[in-house]
Chains A and B, each alone.
Chain A
Amino acid sequence: MTLRVLAVDDSRTMRNLLSAALVQAGFDVDLAEDGEDGLQRLSETSPDIVITDINMPRLDGFGLIEAIRGSLGNRHLPILVLTTESAPELKARARASGATGWIVKPFDETKLVAAIERVTMPRGEV
């Protein structure tokens, strides 16, 4: 079974790059444009992992993570935050909101896949 990734980013360029990298690495990919959109897609597609940007209109990444963590079924859903900074306070904030880990932009495919693999269980492996 293929893992399903929901990638949330308000930048079209980022969405393009993410989906290209993820599809190439063999994941199923769903895309959303902001936090609100992400929550909507989440309920529709039931992804195995969420990758989200932080700065987004309507509902930002932190808000999205908090909303996901607040829903019973997704308390342990792996969530990776996309960030351009590897600043400690940003990581602390991501963690405080309940993120599982982070990917520092610009990412390459190896980095992206390694981060996903560190937090997801391939379907059927257990």
Chain B
Amino acid sequence: MSIIISDDFRESFFQECEDLLEAMNDGFRLMADDQHEIETVHAVFRAVHSIKGGAGAFGLDKLVDFAHHFETALDKLRSGKLDLDDDVLALFQRCGDHLADLVAAAREGAEMEEGIGSHLQAELDEAIGSTPQDEEIAPVEFQPMGLDMDLCLGPASPGRYKIDFAPEAELFRSGNEPALLFRALSRLGKLTVRIDTDALPKFTELDCTKPHLHWLLMLESAEPLDAITDTFEFVEGMCRLEITEDEALDVQNPDASTSLQDIIAQTDAPVDEPLRTAKQPQASSRNETNNRGSGATIRVDLERVDKLINLVGELVIKEAMLSQSISNIALPSENEVSVGLESLKQLAGEIQEGVMAIRAQPVKPMFQRMSRIVREAGIATGKRVRLVTQGEHTEVDKTVIERLVDPLTHMIRNAVDHGLEDTETRRSAGKPDEGTVILSAAHRSGRVMIDISDDGGGINRSKVRKIAEGKGLVSAEADLSPTEIDNLLFLPGFSSKEEVSALSGRGVGLDVARSEVQALGGRVSITSNPGEGTTFSISLPLTLAVLEGMVIEVADQTMVVPITAIQETLQPRTAEIHQIGQDGRVVVNRERLVPIVDLGEVFGFRPAPAVLDNHVLLLVETDNGRHCALIVDGIQDQRQVVIKSLESNYGHVNGVAAATILGDGRIALIIDPDGIIRDAAGQVGAELQFYSAGQCHA
């Protein structure tokens, strides 16, 4: 019989760690803003303490060890022995980061580098003015052991212990009980108990608040002396206790030996207060605060939620199909069926919204990670930076949040590295030394907006232009608006490896960050004011399960194009269409040449139409900022569609993102403009490449 430390326990520990780390970071932020109270410090201490406690139970020694050092320093802070200045706070924050790393490593069973931890521990020790030897760490071995309730070791080579035991009043006040100690001792071997009642006064003189009894015990046991002393661990200092190892039996009067039952009966006698038999109900003053579970949550397997979302999607589709068939019957208006259907439709919509909300999570934990990124970026660049977060309770789909971490990290680093000026420049511009990066989230017209703003010098447009020209990304003659210049930052190849500083690292440019956002159905835009700063705005859909799409028709096929990809729709005049090379065509749009691709041809439905009189062009923009005009035969509708993945059943088809079921039950493919343009680039060749990036003066 042993405690089964199952994976569930482990997992729930790590989930709790996430909450605790969040609470810790909340505390640090309050401290940084100088808004903390002593309870804030307590909360941070408790968070670290709980992580340590749990880690101990799972034998995560490194985590315990570091948490212990961290906690010791926090304890000094809460007891007022350590002052909180900027350096101490910065150290604590770095320790918090390291603690998070250790938790993550432990969760994945990975090993952490020793260096950082021991370095931080040394810093902590220095901050609190102690040497590591001062602190002795609690042992952390955890060995689930079997338990035998009737554990009684036979006296292999029994020693004899003589125990002289006289309890004091305090022992009873602490809830301890001599009889129970004797019971525990009797498990260690053969116990003989003799009670000494000599000190018991006459009944009339009895002071019932004082104990008057004294016991002489003889234990024959193979257990070491420690085991005997351990039994008295709880009552040490609350009794007279002498334990001697004794070879000669010293129980002179065997008649005085009494059974445990008798002792128990006697022990109770000199105690003043009522025994804990009648348990009275508690005073009700505390009972009034019955507000537990105000933030009660349950943890549900994500798979179940996704299944539900999928089913609700089906429900919405079925409802739409039913609607359509009923409208085909041409019932008189205001009939019961249509009215009932209308309320069903509303209900289905509400259920869909509700189910989507289950997947939604506040962006707060992600924002907290960003404060660490800012801190690290500040250190790496030698700039003083403060991160201000707004709207951290804004809820976004879980997957969106997860996949947003990388692009956001990149943009934040970019803001610190390139957005903010160095201290000298800031001073001469009359700005405070400390730069500010504001990270905000908000819901706006059915989408989530995330803004990353800095109060730096703004984009240096002439420099950006020069770099872009130098790399051949834009021609020297091109007439670019300020916004167009700003958007050059997103061109692939704009920030090459050589230019990316150590910080922005990894050789990833803003173009990659942007394509990651676009893969989520989002868009990124820049606004910048010279001298005032730059803002990157990310606009995202609330969920990945539903997509706002344009329902189009090509070669008698119905398809859906994600609305986020469409910049505009054109009905081109013949004069605006130019032939390039053998089979390349471009359309002139806003002084640009945009290559034309026929959707019907790409999917092999038909050869591209020679004349585009009755067709519509959808101007789409791809991940990497390329433009392309898709030929379609007509636009049917703009609506929300439920995304049905094809890849799990069918495999990936280039140019097809997923499928959906339309109101009339027809299946329509949702096209992936990026994939199509990538394919088409192969066919149309170099021209497409050239014109999509460059400019033209038509």
Contact = CB atoms under 8 A, between A and B. Distances in A.
Interface of A: 10-14, 16-17, 20-21, 24-25, 33, 36-37, 39-40, 42-43, 46, 53, 55-57, 67, 69, 71-79, 84-86, 95, 98-102, 104-110, 113-114, 117-121, 126
Contacts of A95: 174, 237-238
Nearest to B264: A126
Nearest to B50: A11
A119 B175 contact: yes
B9 A17 contact: yes
A73 B278 contact: yes
B222 to A, nearest CB: 17
B180 A120 contact: yes
A86 B180 CA distance: 23
Nearest 8 interchain pairs by C-beta: A101-B234, A43-B282, A73-B280, A106-B56, A100-B175, A13-B54, A13-B13, A11-B50
Contacts of B581: none
A36 B143 contact: no
Contacts of A109: 1-3, 144-145, 147
Contact of A76 (B59, B179, B261, B273): B273
Given A13-B16, A16-B12, A109-B147, 6 more contacts: A10-B50, A36-B286, A77-B175, A100-B174, A117-B180, A118-B180
Nearest to B15: A12
Given A10-B46, A13-B57, A118-B231, A25 B286 contact: no
A86 B175 CA distance: 20
B181 A98 contact: no
A43 B281 contact: yes
Interface size class of B (residues with CB under 8 A): 35 or more
A15 to B, nearest CB: 10
B177 interface: yes
Contact of A14 (B50, B289, B290): B50
A118 B278 contact: no
Interface in B134-150: 138, 140, 142-147
Contacts, number: 167
A43 to B, nearest CB: 4
A96 B56 CA distance: 27
A86 B174 contact: no
B57 A118 contact: no
Contacts of A33: 292
Contacts of B140: 106
A59 to B, nearest CB: 9
A40 B9 contact: no
A69 B50 CA distance: 26
A21 B46 contact: no
A117 B184 contact: yes
A77 B50 contact: no
B184 A55 contact: no
A122 B138 CA distance: 31
A36, A46, A55, A126: residue with the most chain B Cβ atoms closer than 10 Å:
A55
A17 B174 contact: no
A77 B280 CA distance: 12
A104 B138 contact: yes
Nearest to A95: B174
Interface in B262-304: 264, 273-276, 278-284, 286-287, 289-290, 292
A19 to B, nearest CB: 10
Nearest to B56: A106
B174 A98 contact: yes
Interface in B234-251: 234, 237-238
Given A17-B3, A24-B1, A106-B57, A42 B282 contact: yes
Contact of B143 (A11, A16, A69, A108): A108
